[in-house]
Amino acid sequence: MAGFGDIVQKAFFLGVGLAASAGERAGGKLSELRSQAQKLADEMVAKGEMTTDEARRFVDEMMKQAQQAPVEPSSSTQSGEPRRIEILSDDEEPKPAGSPNNDVDAMRQQVQALQDELRRLKRD
C-alpha cells in the first residue's frame, strides 16, 4: 500500500501537469486569436478601411481583451443570501424593494376571518 506521502506527491504532480497543459492550451488559443485578428486587420488595410497604425492598435487591443480576466459579477449577487423574488399577479403593480407592505393588515383580517369560519365549520 502506497504511503500518504506518495499520494500527496502524485496529487501535486497531477496538479502541476494540469496547470502546464492548461497554460499550453491557453497559449495556443492566444496565438490563434492573434493570427486571426492580424489576418482581419490585414484585410481591412488592403481594402483601405484602416491604416497600418490603426490595424496594429486593433490587434493589440484584441490581445489585451483576450488576456484580461473575466469580469466578476457584482457583489450584491455574492452576498451569500438568496436573491428575493416577488411574484405578482397580472393586475398588481410592482412595489419598490424597500417599501413596507401596506396590505399586511388586510391580509391579517382575511386570515382571521378564515380561521373564524374554519372554527365555525368544525363545530357544525
Residue 83 lies in a domain: no
Helix (H) or strand (E) holding 84: none
Residue 48 lies in a domain: yes
Q: Could you tell me which residues come within 8 angstroms of residue 58 by beta carbon, excluding any fewer than 6 positions away?
A: 37, 41, 50
Type of residue found at 58? F
pLDDT digits (tens, 9 = 90+) for 86-97: 777 776 665 655
Q: Are 58 and 34 in contact (CB under 8 A)?
A: no
Residue 59 lies in a domain: yes
pLDDT digits (tens, 9 = 90+) for 36-81: 888 888 888 888 888 888 888 888 888 888 777 565 555 555 567 8
Residue 75 lies in a domain: no
- Predicted confidence at residue 4, as pLDDT, reads 76
| Mean pLDDT confidence for 82-111 | 71
Residue 61 lies in a domain: yes
Q: How far is CA 119 from CA 61, 107, 111, 113, 116, in A?
A: 73, 18, 12, 10, 5
Range of the domain at 61: 36-68
Share of the chain above pLDDT 90, in %: 3
Number of domains into which the chain is organized? 1
